[in-house]
Amino acid sequence: MKIKQLSIFLENKKGRMRKALDVLANNDINIRAMSIADVSDFGILRLIVPVPEKATEVLEENNFLVKVGEVIAVEMSDKPGGLNAILKFLDEANINLNYLYAFVDEKEQRAIVLLHPEDVDGGIRALNEGGAVIIPPEEVYNW
Amino acid sequence: MFWNEEEECMPPLKREELQLERLQEVVEKAYENVPFYRKRFDDAGVRPEDIKTLEDIRKLPLTTKDDLRAAYPFGMFAVSPKKIVELHTSSGTTGKPTVSGYTRKDIEIWSEVMARGLTMFGLTEDDIIQNTHGYGLFTGGFGVHYGAQKIGATVIPISTGQTKRQIEILEDFGSNVLIFTPSYGLYLAEVAQEEGVNQDNLKLKSIGFGAEMWTEGMRKEIEKRYGVPAFNIYGLTEIMGPGIALECEAQDGLHVMEDHFYPEIIDSETLNPLPEGEKGELVLTNLTREGMPIIRFRTKDVTALRRTECSCGRTFVKMDRITGRTDDMLKVKGVAVFPSQIEKALLKIDGLEPHYQIIVTRPQYLDELEVQVEASPSLFSDEVKELVSIKRKIENQIHNEIGIRVDVTLVEPETLPRSEGKAIRVIDKRKFD
């Protein structure tokens, strides 16, 4: 149920993000979803790709610092309050959320939120119990 | 105006006689009382009685900071501990600092040379001197203090920091002479301006500055900001502290107090003496120190000596301001910092690659030290807060080691220059030439 996510360390320097994306493009790796967290002098680029292992390998070959982590993909209704309904399940289970980012799945005409709670397994349990629709990795990698 | 006209204006030949007499005496005492020197001289096959002329000093082996460190804490003392009345230390590179011990007579000499220098700056017993040099193991604060006390001036031992208070005291007490490091002085001036201090309301007549490298441009700026002349002070803890060489009203080099310190300039590669006027490494010998006489100490400071007649009438040789170092020591905010100290701090952090670069800048007037460190797989976390806390941890570790705050920047792996031969660890963007 967990989605593999790549986190890439980027210096806050001109052209660094493009360099990372070039590596992926040259290896024919498509990006499904992404977000970036930035601090003053560095940033963390987070990516969901169909082939996380291969992407990690080619990025590391190019001296990028990569960590593979896990996030949870949850379907949400694309209307006001949609995200709140999901966050409520985590809140009620007393699970802290580190970050999230959301995308629209055009094929299925749905919105997807990617969640990274402090406790990923606990998060999945809470979401399941609450009745949220958790999207399996295959669907995320290939949407 | 002279503090000690007889000594300061002594005819050169007469002084040379005095220097030779003192050199012979100090070499003999060092040989007799300091096992380190006895062994050194014996190994070099030289005996105190071989010193027949001043040039014979070149027969004696050089002493390095490593030698002093190896003698930690009291191995260089030439007198019994009960005769030592004061201790100071200089900052250490790795591990132990070097210790400097003073007898009552040494403190007296230190006071005397600083009194001469402060007199050059125009300080008299009627004046108030505000000493922003730190009091403590650092010799800066006490050296100035002793000299001013010797003159009989009123000392405000305020130390560094408390900048607003400094300004308040400068105005309210009417300080006549101000002592600071150039960068702190410029900072103080900025704050004074912000506080709306009017130069005309101050009673300043001169400034003494030292303990870090500076440029003529910085001097001009200091003089403009305070509206009074600024004079250079040179010294180092190993030999005594501030007071080894000071600038007179001619502002054309520093007079070395040659009756107490014997200066030489050597080529730092060949270790051969260099002719007068040539730039090289300054080597100093204590001619009169009892507690810890140091023979031919390699200061690693780059300067030149010029024996020209000075308009002030003093016959002391003149030394140019320090324009560089023969080692990789940096003076940042007046504090001696060696790259090896930063490396040591980095190695204390698990998982950190020892690839780093030090960047020193002086954006306005204050030095800033940035340390770039390569992030490594074991350090990298997907969490921003964890990365920030690692950065803080590295900053604190370095702060503990060198005593000043730095800014750590995490950079991507393999982006810093690798050591091919001598790694470029330091980029000093300040200009001192």
SS3 at position B306:
strand
Reply yes or no on whether the pLDDT at B148 is more than 80: yes
The rounded mean pLDDT for chain B is 91
> Residue A79's pLDDT band (boundaries 50, 70, 90)?
confident
Q: Count CB-CB contacts under 10 A for residue B322.
A: 22
Shared domain check, B182 and B88 = yes
Query: Is pLDDT larger for residue B402 or for residue B183?
Result: B402
- The CATH number for A129's domain is 3.30.2130.10
Read off the pLDDT band of B229 (50, 70, 90).
very high
**pLDDT band for position B422 (cuts 50, 70, 90):** very low
Residues of chain B found within 8 Å of residue A68, distances taken between Cβ atoms: none
B419 touches chain A (CB under 8 A): no
Across the interface, whether the CB atoms of A67 and B377 are under 8 A apart is answered yes
Maximum CA pair distance of chain B? 74
* Mean of pLDDT values over A68-78: 92
Residues B122 and B151 in one domain: yes
Task: Sheet containing A110-117: give its strands across.
Answer: A33-38, A42-48, A2-11, A66-76, A110-117, A97-105
Q: Least CB-CB distance to B380: which of A37, A63, A67?
A: A67
Mark whether A8 and A37 lie in a shared domain.
yes
Q: Do B387 and A39 touch (CB under 8 A)?
A: yes
Domain that includes residue B379, residue range: 331-428
Tell whether B433 is covered by a domain.
no
Q: What element of type H or E holds B327?
A: none
Higher pLDDT, B244 or B388: B244
- Domain check: are A86 and A123 in the same one? yes
What is the Cα–Cα distance from B358 to B341, expressed in whole angstroms?
A: 11
Residues 99-118 of A with CB under 8 A from B: 116
List the CATH number of the domain containing B346.
Answer: 3.30.300.30
Asked whether the predicted pLDDT for residue B367 surpasses 90, the reply is no
pLDDT in tens, B340-362: 788 888 888 887 877 889 999 98
Amino acid B424: pLDDT: 66
Mean pLDDT of the region B245-268: 97
C-beta atoms of A63 and B412 within 8 A: yes
pLDDT tens for A87-100 read: 999 999 999 999 99
B382 in reach of chain A (CB within 8 A): yes
- The string of pLDDT tens digits covering residues B54-73 is 999 999 999 999 999 999 99
Say yes or no: A133 and A88 in one domain: yes
Q: Is A40 on the interface with B (CB under 8 A)?
A: no
If you average pLDDT over every residue of chain A, what do you get?
A: 91
pLDDT at B423: 56
Considering the entire predicted model, what is its pTM? 0.73
In this predicted structure, the answer to whether residue B363 has a pLDDT above a threshold of 50 is: yes
Identify whether residues B283 and B389 lie together within a single domain: no
Residues of B whose CB is below 8 A from A11: 410-412, 415
Among the partner-chain residues A16, A44, A65, the one whose CB lies closest to the CB of B377 is A65
Q: Does A11 contact B383 at a Cβ distance shorter than 8 Å?
A: no
Residues A24 and A82 in one domain: no
A54 interfacial to chain B (CB closer than 8 Å):
no
Cross-strand bridge partners of residue B390: none
**According to the model, what pLDDT value does residue B403 have?**
83
The strand pairing partners of B370, in sequence order, are B359, B407
Q: Is the pLDDT of residue B187 over 90?
A: no
pLDDT at residue number A107? 77
The reply to whether A53 and A40 lie within a common domain is yes
pLDDT of A8 reads: 95
Number of domains in chain A: 2
**Does residue B93 have a pLDDT over 70?**
no
Q: Kindly state whether residues B132 and B55 are assigned to the same domain.
A: yes
Q: What distance in Å separates residue B406's CA from the closest CA in chain A?
A: 15
Residue A37 in contact with partner chain B when CB distance is under 8 A = yes
What pLDDT does residue B419 have? 54
A17 part of contact set with chain B, CB < 8 Å? no
Is any Cβ of chain A less than 8 angstroms from the Cβ of B389?
A: no
CATH number of the domain that residue B57 is part of: 3.40.50.12780
Nearest in space to B315 (alpha carbons), one of B15, B2, B111? B15
